[in-house]
Amino acid sequence: MAALRDRDRRLRRVIRWLTLIAMATGFLSTLIYSTGADLAIRYVNPELGAWWDAHQFAIMEVSATALGLLIAVRCAARLIEETRTRRRAKVSSLVLSAIIALPLSSEVASIARLGWDGGGAPTRNFLQGRAGYGAGNILDKIVIGSVYFLKSTALAALIGFALYAVVWVITMSFDKDGATEPAERSIP
């Protein structure tokens, strides 16, 4: 029983670290993409700056998708009582999330692009009026990039919840002993 708890703690720690890495990578890539700070990277290291400029948008998309999938796995696992089925479903969902994150990111990103451009002018005008033209344009790009990242994360989380539900049902159907820990069974 203690070994199972240790494995569960290690799994939670891995998921927590993966979530933090996805958040940090997404935040940095969104901020650098929105502000155009990749030019500073080019001045320090031209090869790294060129690579970053070519891949920063894809990094932002994959980070948002991975973050959404990880949030879904973390939240959905809490909805199920503590069993071996929960642990198996969590591991299986993580593996499937890692497999589908890259292909899913382009689809999520194309859906997240819908709807923002139509009403963007009032936000830009408000920010320019408050902060000035130059700073207002930068703030507008940061707001647009942040909303795009959050929309991508939310869409990926919805897909992640569906993925976890399917994996959980499949895992439950293959579980032979009723999905309960031996220590949790009541003896009649």
Q: How far is residue 163's CA from residue 97's CA, in Å, rounded to a whole number?
A: 8
Contact (Cβ atoms closer than 8 angstroms) between residue 32 and residue 38: yes
> What pLDDT is attached to residue 114?
78
Mean pLDDT on 48-59: 89
Q: Is the pLDDT of residue 25 over 80?
A: yes
Phi then psi for 83, rounded to 5 degrees? -145, 170
pLDDT per position as a tens digit, 82-112: 677 788 888 899 999 999 999 999 899 888 8
Q: What does the pLDDT read at residue 142?
A: 84
Task: Write down the domain spans for the chain.
Answer: 2-175
Distance CA 72, CA 141 (A): 28
Within its chain, how far is the Cα of 22 from the centroid? 6
Joined together, the tokens standing for residue 158 give 């919805």
Tens digits of residue pLDDT in 70-81 = 999 999 888 877
- pLDDT tens-digit readout, 114-168: 776 555 677 777 878 888 888 888 888 888 888 889 999 999 999 999 999 999 8
pTM score, whole prediction: 0.81
- Quickly state the pLDDT bin for 53 (edges 50, 70, 90): confident
Mean pLDDT, range 45-65, rounded to an integer: 90
Q: What is the pLDDT at residue 63?
A: 95
